[in-house]
Amino acid sequence: MQAILSWLDHRTGYRAALDALLFTTIPGGAKWRYVWGTTLLFGVFVQFVTGFFLWTAYSPSAQTAWESTYFIQHEILGGWLLRGIHHFCAQVMVILLAIHLIQVIVSGAYKAPREVNFWLGLALLMLILGSAFTGYLLPWDQRGYMATTVASSIAGSTPVVGSYVQQLLLGGSTLGNHTLTRFFSLHAGLLPLLLLVVISLHVIVGRRHGLQTAGADRSKDASYFPDQFLRDAVACLGVMVVTIILCVWNGTGAHGGAHLGPPADLTAPFDAARPEWYFLFLFQFLHFFSGGTEVIGSQIVPGMVLGIVALMPFIAQWKFGHRFNITFVFTVLACIIGLMSLALFNDFATDPKVNPHYAKAVAFQAAVSDSNMRAERAVELAKIQGIGPEGAAALVRRDAKVQGGALFSRHCATCHAYNGHDGTGRALKSAAVAADLGQFGTRAWMVGMLTKPADDLYFGLTRNGKFDGKAVGTRFTEGSMATWVKDNVNSGKLTADDVKAIAEFLVSLSGEHVEEPLADKALAEKGKALFGEGTDAAPESCFSCHKFKSEDAYFKDLGDSGDSGPDLTAYASSRWLTDFIKNPGHKQFYGEDNAMVPFQGKLTDEELDQIVVWMLKRWARPPAK
């Protein structure tokens, strides 16, 4: 072995290089506080390794970026862990870089003759933040897409050259394929190259001047190996352990690692656009500027802060310059932490007693919940249907589970609620004036309509509504249905079992609501008789008011049904719902008593189908295990 190594050393001189690396002198001996630079270098190494393997499976285009990220996360063995390490190690690096910078300033290691090395460290900070910013868009999910849109608009606010900077950044006027290819070429090409150059220069210049140690702490000098080497190795192991813990914090497998939001879609509502946590302070700071002054908060003030930091080697030459620098950097750190805390408070404090912006916090959390639902649904659809050439965004755009709630919010929530919200989990923008449709088509809905139609969940709120400029008033709360319930149900002429049987029969007319068990045949038969003929005590049956067409011999023998109430043929089925939403004022339904806007021509057939499928929960589902 010695002969081989000696031969190799004679040809390469590796022993001298290894000695220079491992046996350099550490002033004052090994210290734990010297590990931060090495851990940062280790983080860069981890990013290069994981980034390379992610690169082998990633495809940067608007139809393939999210899809290839999904493939990494859900299909490649261990892909979730690989992506998680890359994502969270980048975040850990930001903290390590901040600690290293503060340590350099506090210890005075930025003073002459180390100014150039200090500036190289600042360049390293900018490159790492730039890498984080460009990498944020690459999964092409909704959060990254919207955050980059906001960031590019900030760049566009630069005086004189803003529009040119924005076009150069995006490769056009909006985010698209060119944006992805530019960000990817920066993230995986130019920025890593510059990182290597700057790190190399930083190490070379740093070795030239040696470590800066506190004057009062000078124990015996020692070589880097083995004591400081061991400390650095343990610290790097700690960085890796923290990164792995963050990866598995929310689980393992496809649900672990870095979060993947829904596919980017400009047409989808998204009120939760936020940058990563290390840019959150700037996001909050911009709230203090408006009316064209955003450039002050986004560029002028940060530029001045960075300029002062860059001038610290010269400021330190003054009598109290070093103290000023230390005070300044900790003041900036306190402001950053304060702004980040304020941003988090504004987003998550939903108590109106402590947060004057609690309504925005509620809306933000609802938007996050909606985004998570869309993300889970996108993955589910990819597994059920596969991803075609149009991309995953098209799958989500056509999906009733996702789009039904959004359409309900847009077209129906001005009057109706859906389990108390607007269909997407957000609060209603105005008070409901019609029935809450969250339970429509279920047994609970049928029983409620048969026992308390004037309740606020059903017709009760219509008393506050208007139609064609006229108040609805008591048209429904004291109408024929409410009167029938009062005379036959509330009076006790029909028992609770009778009501349950009629509800079971009504459920059997549709049988399409996915979350409702199929109707009990025996109970439905009893309900059919009560529906058609009532009882001796309550002879005024449902059939005497409601239109009902059936091939059933029983109903044919009863003769013609009444026509004062809506047609209940196939009640609560997809066909009934579709016809009703198109024209509730048709004589088949409410006729002259109608107080609902018709949507014939206001919704496309596809949109109408999505709402109906969503209300009946009949969207595509994975096969039962």
Instruction: Write out pLDDT tens, residues 491-525.
Output: 999 999 999 999 999 999 998 999 899 999 999 99
Q: Strand 25-26 relative to strand 466-467: parallel, antiparallel, unpaired?
A: unpaired
* pLDDT of amino acid 212: 62
Burial of 408: CB neighbours in 10 Å, binned 0-12, 13-18, 19+: buried
Q: Which residues contact 381 (CB under 8 A, 6 or more apart)?
A: 392, 395, 396, 399, 620
Q: Confidence band (pLDDT; 50, 70, 90) for 218? A: low
* pLDDT of amino acid 613: 96
Cβ contacts of 99-104, under 8 Å, gap ≥ 24: 99/36, 100/36, 100/37, 100/40, 101/125, 101/329, 102/329, 102/330, 102/333, 103/33, 103/36, 104/212
Choose the weakest-confidence range: 287-296, 342-351, 596-605.
287-296
Q: Confidence band (pLDDT; 50, 70, 90) for 217? A: low
Residues of the chain with pLDDT > 90: what percent? Answer: 67
Q: Strand 470-471 relative to strand 222-223: parallel, antiparallel, unpaired?
A: unpaired
Measure the CA–CA gap between 406 and 422, rounded to whole angstroms: 8
Overall average pLDDT of the 309-324 stretch: 94
**Which of residues 92 and 561 earns the better pLDDT score?**
92
Whether 154 shows a pLDDT value over 80: the answer reads no
Q: Is there a contact between 269 and 408 (Cβ–Cβ < 8 Å)?
A: no
Overall average pLDDT of the 403-414 stretch: 93
Q: Is there a contact between 466 and 510 (Cβ–Cβ < 8 Å)?
A: no
Overall average pLDDT of the 314-338 stretch: 95
Whether 216 shows a pLDDT value over 50: the answer reads no
Measure the CA–CA gap between 280 and 150, rounded to whole angstroms: 13
* pLDDT of amino acid 225: 85
Q: What is the mean pLDDT of the chain?
A: 91
Whether 294 shows a pLDDT value over 90: the answer reads no
CA separation, residue 551 to residues 125, 227, 411, 529, 532 (Å): 77, 91, 36, 15, 14
Measure the CA–CA gap between 471 and 433, rounded to whole angstroms: 11
Overall average pLDDT of the 418-430 stretch: 89
Q: Which residues contact 452 (CB under 8 A, 6 or more apart)?
A: 458, 485
* pLDDT of amino acid 384: 93
Whether 346 shows a pLDDT value over 70: the answer reads yes
Strands (E), 288-361: none
**Which of residues 624 and 76 earns the better pLDDT score?**
76
Whether 214 shows a pLDDT value over 60: the answer reads no
Q: Is there a contact between 378 and 616 (Cβ–Cβ < 8 Å)?
A: no
* pLDDT of amino acid 44: 95
Q: Enter the pTM of the model.
A: 0.85
pLDDT tens-digit map of 534-543:
999 999 999 9
Helix (H) / strand (E) containing 239:
helix 229-248
CA 624 to chain centre: 28
Measure the CA–CA gap between 174 and 181, rounded to whole angstroms: 13
Helix (H) / strand (E) containing 119:
helix 115-137
* pLDDT of amino acid 625: 65
**Which of residues 580 and 561 earns the better pLDDT score?**
580
Q: What are phi and psi of 218, to 5 degrees?
A: -120, 85
Structure tokens belonging to residue 283? 């996001």
Provide the residue type at 132 as one letter: A
* pLDDT of amino acid 439: 94
Overall average pLDDT of the 256-264 stretch: 93
Q: Which residues contact 186 (CB under 8 A, 6 or more apart)?
A: 130, 134
Q: Compute the CA torsion angle 249, 252, 255, 258 (nearest 10 deg).
A: 50
Q: Is there a contact between 195 and 124 (Cβ–Cβ < 8 Å)?
A: yes
Choose the weakest-confidence range: 29-33, 120-124, 317-321.
29-33
CA 516 to chain centre: 31
